[in-house]
Amino acid sequence: MFSKILFFLLICSSLCSVASTRFSKKYYSQKEVVINIDTSKIIVNKIIISGNKITKQQIIFREILFRENDTIEKSKLKDILEQSRKNLLNTSLFNFVTIDTTHVSNENINIKIDVIERWYIWPMPYFKLNDRNFNVWWQTKDLDKIDYGIDFTWENFRGRKEILVLLVRIGYDETFGLLYKIPYINKSKTLGIGISGGFSGNHEMPYKDSINKQVFIKQKESFIQQNIFGTFNMTYRKSIFNTHTFQINFNDFTFSDTLLKLNSNYATQNHLQFFTFYYLFKSDHRDIAAYPLKGYYTEFQIEKYGFGLLNKKNVDMDFAYTSLRKYWNIYNRWYFAGCINAKFSTDKNQPYFLERGLGFGNDFVRSYEYYVVDGQDYALLKSNLKFQLVQTKVKDLNFIPSKKFSKLYYSIYLNLIADAGYTVDQNPPIGNKLSNTFLFGTGIGLDFVTYYDKVYRFEYTVNRMGESGFFIHFVAPI
């Protein structure tokens, strides 16, 4: 019964969310002819891959740290195999990966890689609560703030890790778009490209902050804001762990007169067209990206809004953002994680529709979920001390015929939480007392982690103002 409940939770979550510098040492083959047998090393005779009914073998070979005929030190073999297994899991192509060895002789081994692929095609109804987070929506339970439609997502398209997405969403927001991403376009599998485009329209938008909460205006008969958008990006991934992304965006925004009358700083004019340049560097050394327990992650990005090419009155702003995250296994089932996120802007007079401080995405001080702390610059510190309450368990759901769903794993973690943040706002609205002041939050939490990268977090926290609350989230805290 418990396994069926877990499976039901997974399906519900998928419906709501279906639609984020050094290279570890490579172990390539030694070309020299070995005359004397070195018993401290071993030679990879064959690599046998099974279970990949859709995924091409070259995609798997791209992630592993060994090749046939490689000579590997025996003392390092275990770590190399384990890191290769984690690399394959972090592709999000497989639910389970096992890597085993068999001895051909004292000096030679065969390595077998067995994978259980995920389900890749999701032509499913789309439902999404259109608020900053679930807890903000739960305050009003406003059913009008729901996007619905169809998301056709084909992951691992053609078995080459490509992604094809068709968006048809109506309801609170309306979005129609197409996205196609090719991770590798060259023989060495270091370059990838992506392209997307579409239209979005909004009948309701926040137009200002009051007492650090968004104030909305709704216009049923027509769009209050609409955007025609297009993007092109190129990725460069020479090593396993480091990725560079270069992206050009085009936006064509139209705002209603009502919106600009309510807030003259919402945008510089009713019609804005501008290009954005975006660069992102990621160095990802986490064990499991969806819910990391060991390793580290570094991210740095810059954005340039507007180039003065289309209209001198268009936006012209620069942003820089960085995120540093570290994860430790302290002892046995005890873990600690911490992160520092920071954003810096060159322009201190930003239009409201582009200004973002703390309170959006995963950049917020826990216990301040109900608030937005807008500003031009901010810094955020998050920390978690956790204990693995239930060690990872694997269950076979025998009533499901497909291996893509029938093998379930889950684990549960108990957390102690401590966060702090600070937002700099050069032009704070009257009553927004959380800007330009230190924010603190602490509490306890329970995390439930299961397959298909699903995380369910239940937290009770208290902030510096003495306000406490129970909050629910669906991604890893750090």
Give the CATH number of the domain where residue 191 resides.
Answer: 2.40.160.50
Whether 266 is covered by a domain: the verdict is: yes
Q: Which of 117, 133, 158 is the last residue of a domain?
A: 117
**320-346 residue pLDDT tens:** 999 999 999 999 999 999 999 999 998
Could you say which residues of the chain have pLDDT below 70? Answer: 1-39, 123-127, 308-313
Inside any domain, residue 22: no
Number of domains making up the chain: 2
Asked if residue 461 is part of any domain, the answer here is yes
Neighbour tally for 139: CB within 10 Å: 10
83 and 232 fall within a common domain: no
CA gap 196, 320 in Å, rounded: 24
Asked whether residue 99 falls in the same domain as residue 245, the answer is: no
Domain membership of residue 26 (yes or no) is no
Asked whether residue 109 falls in the same domain as residue 145, the answer is no
How far is residue 157's CA from residue 412's CA, in Å, rounded to a whole number?
A: 33
Using only C-alpha atoms, the chain has a radius of gyration, in whole angstroms, of 24
Does any domain span residue 13? no
| pLDDT for the residue numbered 126 | 67
64 in the same domain as 127: no
- Report if residue 2 sits inside a domain: no
Is the same domain home to 315 and 373? yes
User: Can you give the pLDDT at residue 38?
Assistant: 56
Residue 23 belongs to a domain: no
Assess if residue 25 is contained within a domain: no
Q: pTM of the predicted model, to two decimals? A: 0.81
Reading the block at residue 400, the tokens are: 């499901």
Whether residues 310 and 429 share a domain: the answer is: yes
What the block records as the tokens of 275 is 């290009």
Q: How far is CA 342 from the centre of its chain?
A: 17
Same domain flag for 249 and 148? yes
Per the CB < 8 A criterion, the answer to whether 42 and 108 are in contact is yes
Domain boundary among 117, 135, 169: 117
Residue ending a domain, among 85, 117, 149, is 117
Q: Are residues 301 and 228 located together in one domain of the fold?
A: yes
Query: How confident is the model at residue 313, as a pLDDT?
Result: 66
Instruction: Please report the pLDDT score of residue 2 as a whole number.
Output: 41
Range of the structural domain that residue 90 is part of: 36-117
356 and 235 in one domain?
A: yes
- At 8, give phi and psi (nearest 5°): -65, -40
